[in-house]
A and B are shown apart, each in its own frame.
Chain A
């Protein structure tokens, strides 16, 4: 699995400037089976849906909170609607999708547990990517700087940050247990988008992974 990931990343670097978000999207896309039906929550400008459509031939739909993002997506021919992950997932029927993706949005939701439960109700699988608040740089800033951490990836000041529910990789694993989600795959990677060693222990991932991507499914 890792070698394939690395190959994808190399291709991505050749195609465009490397950046945290893009590598993250490719790692998410890698977890989605070709030709499946996908709902992307927090579709942004539609980049992930575009990658999924072009590289994996998925039938993709999206929800996006910002009107500008939605209209940009629709003008690109993507099936995206304006909506809020916290309120609008309830309207979707059970088992409507093969995958429900929450890319870099979990920490901005009001009720992450409810959102994750809906994701696993609407889709057979869920893919969640999020910034790891347990990363050593963040720990150092809080422990020794004495202030709320700011990184290239999380540049906001605490008073205007949309991110209200940060968690560490370890915390997220607890949420998976609580919601009854089965972890099928997980990848953590550092600031350069390089995946950490697959056989590394959780504490290592939690300290050195800047971001994480989890593929989940319903237990049982």
Chain B
């Protein structure tokens, strides 16, 4: 993890949390508190977001993109922190499946994130210091509530579509359950109605890695001038394995050595896959806040749509007029196809209009972020059909 020490200092990350670059920010004052599932009110708070395309006169072409655990709102434009291109530029843009010439795209940073929406790295107005562990524990439903307040602010009543993968897909499902009248169509990709025991277990390993880092200081690393980089990097390394698949790892790395022909008989990164994971870990800590990682993984763990509806998922979607398109990937072992099938069964049972496609790929859970022509065709076709039903004009 050689380049870890060149990471930007903690204060620059804290600045991004309060004043994000290249972003719009909606601020909600004490007159508009956010009521959290934890039973407390968060106020004041802010939501950072990006928009692409133009809202039509009827305000009927808005598409909300919900990002995944370690994603952010820079979905279709360069990320100001990493300098890399937007995380879903393959999907969103002019002429792309989610066409910015046709739709008005809104992507907010999630509540609890560290890229401009209020989270543990943001300044607590009560103390003037970062929230840290004093930040209340949040849920997927809280994230969606905050997004609904953002839409109110933007004067958008009904979304043409809500789309997202993984934790983004959980938000999509929560949107459809919490605000069915505001969602015309929904695209939950590679997700589930609840976080499985195995997934909670993986998250717990990640959190323990962060908390075991002596530099974490019970979440007060900003105040103490430290940074739990090693712990967060280990958490990321473990999690990253779950986003891939055995086949994809084998295809990419096999047992190849890294810049050497023979093993060194040491614990150096002999194998390419080790070097790759170390790089994933160290580059992650440069852009992500450790406490934010704790809060967001926790929000995913708590997600259980059925538990909110008397144990029956179908009740969450009762009477839904939303059009759904559920997508899963054959090699995704974090949110395997049976989880998506459970969503589909529930939607069928509640009489909702649902499409479901499973895409064959060896790229694992992360396939939703990658070049998958079949996914693009399905998203494009689904949105075209929905646009027709919604009476949206073709292109600009």
Q: Are A74 and B351 in contact, with the CB atoms below 8 A? A: no
CB neighbours (8 Å) of B21 from chain A are: none
Nearest-CB residue, chain A, relative to B325:
A74
Within 56-85 of A, Cβ neighbours of B (below 8 Å) are at: 59, 61, 67, 70-71, 73-82
Q: Are B358 and A77 in contact, with the CB atoms below 8 A? A: no
Within 29-76 of A, Cβ neighbours of B (below 8 Å) are at: 59, 61, 67, 70-71, 73-76
Q: Are A71 and B374 in contact, with the CB atoms below 8 A? A: yes
Nearest-CB residue, chain B, relative to A61:
B353
Spot the interface stretch: A13-21, A90-98, A134-142, A169-177: A90-98
Report the contact-size class of chain B (Cβ under 8 Å from the partner): 20 to 34
Q: Are B354 and A71 in contact, with the CB atoms below 8 A? A: no
Which listed residue, B348, B356, B378, touches A92 by the CB 8 Å rule? B348
Within 185-231 of B, Cβ neighbours of A (below 8 Å) are at: none
Distance of A74 Cα from B326 Cα, bound (Å): 10
Q: Are B385 and A77 in contact, with the CB atoms below 8 A? A: yes
Given contacts A79-B353, A91-B349, contact A71 B386 (CB under 8 A): no
Nearest-CB residue, chain B, relative to A70:
B357
For residue B381, CB closer than 8 A to chain A, the reply is: yes
Q: Are A96 and B385 in contact, with the CB atoms below 8 A? A: no
Which listed residue, B326, B349, B374, touches A93 by the CB 8 Å rule? B349
Distance of A41 Cα from B129 Cα, bound (Å): 60
Which listed residue, B345, B348, B349, B378, touches A74 by the CB 8 Å rule? B378
For residue B388, CB closer than 8 A to chain A, the reply is: yes
Q: Are B355 and A93 in contact, with the CB atoms below 8 A? A: no
Distance of A77 Cα from B390 Cα, bound (Å): 13
For residue B360, CB closer than 8 A to chain A, the reply is: yes
Q: Are B357 and A77 in contact, with the CB atoms below 8 A? A: no
Distance of A91 Cα from B384 Cα, bound (Å): 28
Distance of A192 Cα from B381 Cα, bound (Å): 34
B178 to chain A: closest CB distance in Å? 23
Q: Are A59 and B357 in contact, with the CB atoms below 8 A? A: no
CB neighbours (8 Å) of B355 from chain A are: 73-74, 78-81
Which listed residue, A74, A91, A93, touches B381 by the CB 8 Å rule? A74
Nearest-CB residue, chain B, relative to A90:
B345
The 8 A CB mask of A157-175 against B (1 = contact, 0 = none) is: 0000000000000000000
Q: Are A92 and B349 in contact, with the CB atoms below 8 A? A: yes
Given contacts A91-B345, A93-B351, contact A76 B385 (CB under 8 A): yes
Within 342-396 of B, Cβ neighbours of A (below 8 Å) are at: 344-345, 348-349, 351, 353-360, 374, 377-378, 380-382, 384-386, 388
| 19 extra A-B contacts, CB within 8 A, seeds A80-B355, A82-B357, A91-B349 | A59-B353, A67-B358, A71-B357, A71-B359, A74-B356, A74-B357, A74-B381, A74-B382, A75-B377, A76-B381, A77-B385, A78-B385, A81-B348, A81-B354, A81-B356, A91-B348, A92-B348, A93-B351, A96-B348
Show 29 residue pairs from A and B whose CB-CB distance is below 8 angstroms, ordered by the A residue: A59-B353, A61-B354, A67-B357, A70-B357, A74-B356, A74-B357, A74-B382, A75-B377, A75-B378, A75-B380, A75-B381, A75-B382, A76-B385, A77-B382, A77-B388, A78-B385, A79-B354, A79-B355, A80-B355, A81-B326, A81-B348, A81-B355, A82-B358, A91-B348, A92-B348, A92-B349, A93-B351, A96-B348, A96-B351
4 closest A-B pairs by CB: A77-B385, A75-B381, A81-B356, A75-B377
